[in-house]
Chains A and B, each alone.
Chain A
Amino acid sequence: MNRFWSLLFLCVPVLGMGAYLASYFDVWPMQSTWLPENVSVGGRTIDRLFNLIHLICAVIFVSTTTVLAVALWIYRSSNRQRASHVHSNTRLEIIWSIIPAGILIFLALYQYESWANDKIRRPMENGKPKPPTALIIAKQFGWEVYYPGLDGKLGTKDDIYVENELYVPENEDVVLQLESRDVIHSLFVPVLRIKQDIVPGMTHYCWFRAENADPNKNYEIACTELCGRGHYRMKGWLHIVPREQFDQVMLELGTARISTKLPTKE
């Protein structure tokens, strides 16, 4: 019976790691449970970091949980007369403090560059921050999307307004301006790996560069900050299209609908 317990604890690394490997290699019963399709340049970095951190964690996970199971196997009471009387070991304490500290600081510093690219260094154009491709105003429960129109400026008469449909050009830097009408929302596009909370009263910018996308596919946009009873159905659509098609769409939308709802801004 005593073996049963160490075997039960051995299930933790075996099944846990098994599930993770099956998920990573897309094997039954864990197929398509790893990261979804990625269509952005920044997303590639996120995926790489995600896999790297998981690799490091997997090594620590398997080794520590296996030690636990083995300890329960070897040192169960029926095996031994008396426990060893050891209080501590300074060398061991130093080793298992310094090595994890090194790994953790490496992991933290390794995020700096990608985080700066994702959230701090907004793409530039002609020496100035690139103007937004679209303004998204989140509200209970949908996304108002405004495009600058022909003059390239938001807040003017020729702005184009569409509900829940975000078109962006592929292979170029896209900047989105985010605002909220009522409560906090959060823009989440899993295929782009971006997420940004939208706080009422604040203006946020997020940016990405889409690549390798399927122009005929509609990607889903979700809200990931609880915003009320319709939170779960605050769905939007992202269309990643080549530049020519994007211009075409803007032209069509522009003639079809002229925005009237844009709030006036000083």
Chain B
Amino acid sequence: MVDEGHTVEIHHPPQRGGVLGFVTKYIFATDHKIIGIQFLFSTLIWFAIGGFLALAIRWQLAWPWSDMPIFGNWLFAAEGGQITPEFYSMLFTMHGTIMIFFVVIPVLAGAFGNFLIPLMIGADDMAFPKLNMLSYWFMWPAFILMTMSFFSPGYGPGAGWTAYPPLSVINDAIPGSGDAQSLWTLGLVFVGISSMLGSLNYMTTIIQMRAPGMTMFRMPMTVWALFITALLQAFALPVLTSALLMQLSDRELGTGFYLAEGLSANNATAVAGGGQPLLWQHLFWFYSHPAVYIMILPAMGFVSDILSCFSRKPLFGYRPMVFSICGIAGLGFIVWGHHMFISGMNPVLGLTFMVSTMLIALPSGVKVFNWLATLWGGKIQITSPLLFAAGFVAMFIIGGLSGIVMAATTVNQYVTETYFIVAHFHYVLFAGSVLGMFAGFYYWFPKMFGRMMNDTWGKVHFVMTFVFLNGTFFPMHFLGNRGFPRRYADPYQYEQFADLLPMNQFMTICAFGMAAAQLIFLINFFGCMFFGKRAEQNPWKANTLEWMADSPPPHGNFTTQPTIYRGPYEYSQPKRSDDYWPQFEP
């Protein structure tokens, strides 16, 4: 274990790997930074694909059954360029799957986790570099299987990202229930293996490889958040993996884990029975609710560090912040049933899950109050990372509060499965996690690529994203109030929803605006990678350890063994002339 406060001899030569060839350096890399960047590029590509799927969903909801521009004639020549209902099911199924499993989880845990953990705790690499390489390369079978799923009959699975059986298990239930569904299931198994390898590495590295003086309570919030995320993944993922394998076995081997006796679908008669469809829901949400925290906790960590750095003020309530992350994670394991209040699960159980769910709002609230208190009394520097972090706080408040509406069983009965829940999770996952991700990009880009991103275009990107995301997602609350169901290819053929068409058109226009804003980001991101202003070692005058290394850090990270003298948030210490006091300076 680490001992506090005094220098220790360097254990490894800093250039541990020596000079590397192109293939070992950039492709089958074992360097945590390269692996992080590999994750980052892969997720950006999937982010674009998932975004296009979202635009197609919005197109159908605003102008139902009209020819889709550009892609329409290419994809649905037979239907005259229109989206078909089963294609629409594929769109939201794959949009959800890709955004969750191929974008948010791998970018937060995979890209940022890999890049930041060793740098922020003063290690020269992960504990198991080869395992780390495998964790990236296990994503590739998943990428390939999911791509194959797109090209299978039905153009992809159509059972929703939640894949509730029997719809997802009976081969003839919908056109996409054939091979597409099996490939999807298998793909997610690989994502699970990848995350599992990653989380083992993160836990071991954080527990074993902290630099001298880096006690647990001197770790930055980002590292704490990634640590707890790794724990969540390690304990929740085995359940999803086994659930997926059971589903695969139901589909391919004719078992009946999730099928009740005597069913038929689409006139095809039944299959083995004796199972229970609700079993899947329990297992799936036992993973997928903690997954919600896997997707938000790292972003909360980034936001904490960024707000503190750019208000030049210590993070308010560091320990309560750490405990609230632990509280969210702990409670996260006993709230999965709130996805199932009306599922047919014993309604008495629903009451228990409601109480635990309500309680999770408590640590979340503590975090919000502490962020606000961090800004209060600071010397706030308005930069792109700060704006995205502050945007995260504002949007997380909305997403958190709509969570309370959802948690109340009685009200949940009315708003669940409507656009209210769609609003809720987009405020948490897009306006929360994705804004946090952007904050992280702008903040750590100099460390990743040795150049600065353009701040003015960053601000333009922020304003457009912020305005258009609210234009897209805020009206969803009102659709939900009216009972507007989600996953409908054409809700307007219900008389009671027909008058909501103009609102949907407004939302779609905003969604296109939001997509345009991301083009600005991409140009800024890739342009500055080559032509940006060269970054200094510590361009933001931040305290944490990654800013001690060169930008970008060499293989092995630090030229001298870092020693840690204090916590990460000593900004504006009155005794010092500088308004920051890095952890690594005596």
Which residues of A approach B to under 8 Å, CB–CB? 2, 5, 8-9, 12, 15-16, 19, 23, 30, 32-36, 45-46, 49-50, 53-54, 56-57, 60-61, 64-65, 67-68, 71-72, 75-77, 80-89, 92-93, 96-97, 100-101, 104-105, 107-108, 111-112, 114-115, 118-120, 140, 181-184, 186, 188, 190, 193-202, 204, 220, 222-233, 235
- Which residues of chain B are within 8 angstroms of A197 by Cβ–Cβ distance? 342-344
Decide if B401 touches A60 in the complex (CB within 8 Å).
Answer: yes
CA distance in complex: A34, B84 (Å): 31
- Which residues of chain A are within 8 angstroms of B470 by Cβ–Cβ distance? 12, 15-16
Known interface pairs A183-B167, A199-B343, A227-B167. Does A45 touch B316 (Cβ–Cβ under 8 Å)? Answer: no
Known interface pairs A190-B414, A231-B489; 16 further A-B residue pairs with C-beta atoms within 8 A, sorted by A's residue number: A57-B405, A75-B376, A76-B380, A80-B379, A86-B316, A89-B317, A115-B410, A188-B417, A190-B496, A201-B261, A201-B277, A202-B344, A222-B485, A224-B485, A226-B487, A228-B89
Known interface pairs A76-B380, A120-B347, A190-B482. Does A65 touch B173 (Cβ–Cβ under 8 Å)? Answer: no
Most interface-central of B173, B354, B359, B481 (chain A CB within 10 A): B481
CA distance in complex: A96, B466 (Å): 28
Query: Which residue of the partner chain A has the closest CB to B485?
Result: A224
Closest-CB distance, A182 to chain B (whole angstroms): 4
Decide if A71 touches B317 in the complex (CB within 8 Å).
Answer: no
Closest-CB distance, A181 to chain B (whole angstroms): 7
- Which residues of chain A are within 8 angstroms of B573 by Cβ–Cβ distance? 85
Closest-CB distance, A184 to chain B (whole angstroms): 6
B339-366 contact mask (Cβ, 8 Å, vs A): 1 or 0:
0001110011011001100110110011
- How many inter-chain contacts with C-beta < 8 Å in the A-B complex? 314
CA distance in complex: A224, B417 (Å): 6
Decide if A228 touches B167 in the complex (CB within 8 Å).
Answer: yes
Decide if A226 touches B416 in the complex (CB within 8 Å).
Answer: no
CA distance in complex: A101, B359 (Å): 7
- Which residues of chain B are within 8 angstroms of A2 by Cβ–Cβ distance? 382
Decide if B572 touches A82 in the complex (CB within 8 Å).
Answer: yes
B311 CB-CB contact with A under 8 Å: yes
Closest-CB distance, A147 to chain B (whole angstroms): 23
CA distance in complex: A64, B416 (Å): 26
Decide if B164 touches A140 in the complex (CB within 8 Å).
Answer: no
Decide if A85 touches B358 in the complex (CB within 8 Å).
Answer: no
Which residues of B approach A to under 8 Å, CB–CB? 84-86, 89, 158-160, 164, 166-167, 170, 173-175, 260-266, 273, 276-278, 311-314, 316-320, 342-344, 347-348, 350-351, 354-355, 358-359, 361-362, 365-366, 368-370, 372-373, 375-382, 387, 390, 393-394, 397-398, 401-402, 404-405, 407-411, 413-418, 463, 466, 470, 474, 478-479, 481-483, 485-491, 493-496, 499, 503, 569, 571-574, 579
- Which residues of chain B are within 8 angstroms of A57 by Cβ–Cβ distance? 401-402, 404-405
Decide if A9 touches B390 in the complex (CB within 8 Å).
Answer: yes
Decide if A188 touches B483 in the complex (CB within 8 Å).
Answer: yes
Closest-CB distance, B358 to chain A (whole angstroms): 4
- Which residues of chain A are within 8 angstroms of B377 by Cβ–Cβ distance? 75, 83-84, 86
Decide if A183 touches B170 in the complex (CB within 8 Å).
Answer: yes
CA distance in complex: A34, B420 (Å): 12
- Which residues of chain B are within 8 angstroms of A23 by Cβ–Cβ distance? 478, 481
- Which residues of chain B are within 8 angstroms of A88 by Cβ–Cβ distance? 316-320
CA distance in complex: A195, B421 (Å): 14
CA distance in complex: A199, B415 (Å): 20
Decide if A104 touches B379 in the complex (CB within 8 Å).
Answer: no
Decide if A188 touches B485 in the complex (CB within 8 Å).
Answer: yes
Known interface pairs A68-B375, A235-B493. Does A186 touch B417 (Cβ–Cβ under 8 Å)? Answer: yes
Decide if A68 touches B390 in the complex (CB within 8 Å).
Answer: yes
Cβ-neighbour of A8 out of B160, B175, B263, B463 (below 8 A): B463
CA distance in complex: A201, B159 (Å): 19
